[in-house]
Amino acid sequence: MRQPLFGLLSVRPFSKITIRFAAVSLALTVTAAAAQAQTQTGSILPIVTQPVAKVGAAKPIIGWVRFCEHNPSECAVDPDEPAAIELTTKVWQTLNRINQQVNAAIKARTDNDHWGVDDIWDFAEDGYGDCEDYQLVKRRRLVEAGIPRRAMRMTVVIDEEGAGHAVMMVRTTRGDFILDNKRNAILPWHKTGYIYIKREGDESSTWASLGGRTSPTVTANQ
C-alpha cells in the first residue's frame, strides 16, 4: 500500500537553543528599531559629542547681509542669552517636532524659480523656499517656543554634491546638532557628511570660520 508523501518526510525539530537564539535576535531588532524611533522623536537624548571648532573670523554670505538689512532683529546678538543651551528631553523633543513640521510644511523651490535671482534669504511665507528659508522659519518658531536665538546659528556648508548649502546649528551642552531640510533626523555636526565653512557669530555680526577652505558665494538652491 502506497504511503502518503508526507508520511515519508521526516521533520527535524528545532532545538531549544535555536528557538531561543531566534527570539533573542528578534527582540534585539525590535529594541534597536524602537530606540532609533525614540531618538528621532526626542524620547532619548543623543550621546555627548565634541562641538565644532572655530578657527577665526569670516565674512557673512551676501544673502545673509541682505536679509539682515530687512530683518535686523533676526541678526542681532543678545549677550544675555546663552551661547549653548542645556539639552533636556523637552528641548530635544521641541527641536525634533519643529524640524519635522517645517520640513513637511514648506515645498522646495529654488530662488531662481521662485524670485528670478540667485540667493534670497526669507521666511517662505508663501509656502515655498530653499535651504536657508527652511532654517529661518525653524529658528523663528523655536524662538517662539522659548529656545534662545543666540544658541541657534545659521551655518554654511558644502554638501554631498559639492554645492553650497545652509543648515542651522543648535549649540548645546551635549554638542552641536544640525537641523536640515534634507532629512528629518537631527544629527551631530560631524555625522552629516558636510564640509563646514562658516556660521553666524555669537559675539557680534562677524561670522565664525569653521575651517572649510572653499566658501560658496550663494547657498544651494534646494
**Each residue's pLDDT tens digit, 84-114:** 999 999 999 999 999 999 999 999 887 777 7
Q: Is pLDDT above 60 for 75?
A: yes
Q: What is the pLDDT of residue 35?
A: 44
Question: Residue 178 in contact with residue 192, Cβ under 8 Å?
Answer: yes
Cα–Cα distance, 130 to 11 (Å, whole number): 61
Cell, residue 18? 535555536
> What is the predicted pLDDT for the residue at 16?
53
The pLDDT score that the predictor gives to residue 89 is 97
pTM above 0.85, yes or no: no
Can you tell me the distance from the alpha carbon of 131 to that of 119, in angstroms, rounded to the nearest whole number?
10
Helix axes 16-41, 89-105, angle to 10 degrees: 80
114 or 152, greater pLDDT: 152
| Residues making up the chain, counted from first to last | 222
CB 135 within 8 A of CB 150: no
Residues 103 and 182: beta-carbon distance below 8 Å? no
Total Cβ atoms within 10 A of residue 8: 8
CA distance 219 to 216: 7
Average pLDDT over residues 182-186: 97
- Please give the backbone phi and psi of residue 129, each rounded to the nearest 5 degrees, phi first: -175, 175
